Structure 1
Amino acid sequence: MRRQLDGSALSQENRRLQRDLSHARQQLEGSAAAENLQAARLEIYVRGEKVAELERLLAKANDRRVQLHRVHERTVDKLDAANRIVQELRRVLGSLR
């Protein structure tokens, strides 16, 4: 009879330990999942910051491109005006000869 009780008690203790082990594994898996989620959120935040910085740089580059285009147009306009003056001076000089 004592052996049966000991066997039954051992069996119950074994089941309790198995449940505790299973619960501990679930907690560890949950902790690992939470840690992975936190790492993923941090990675998303860092990448978002990088994207925002790249967008700012792109906006600056586009502004600069627009400025350079305006400068180019003004330069071309001035060169065209200077060319017309040179052509007119050549015409006048040619008529004086």
Structure 2
Amino acid sequence: MYRFIRTATVRNAALLPSALVFASEVTAHINNEYSLNMCFGAEQFGSLKVHWNFDADSLDRMQQVNERLMGDQDYVALLEKYKDIWADGAMRDTVIRLA
């Protein structure tokens, strides 16, 4: 089992509500279209970071989801709509092999 985690930093505190709207919309879209159980949350203290995560049985499954997302016009439209709320270069993806 593998866990994918994406962390993105919001540009400033005034944009946090918009970031949470985006997180909710993109999570709902991905869960509906790709049958994932993705979750999201925001750090409570110290930084303006939003985190997403989901588990997959294999790295191949993660790759399949990623390939489909690149052609998903609704997903791309969400990214474009909210592109200005994120700090430049502040997105990090991590994949963890669960024991």
Do these two structures clear the TM 0.5 threshold for a shared fold by scoring above it? no
Larger RCO of the pair (alpha carbons < 8 Å, separation 6+):
2
Q: Which has the higher helix share?
A: 1
TM-score (norm 2): 0.22
Select the structure that is richer in strand. Answer: 2
**TM-score (ref. length: structure 1):** 0.23
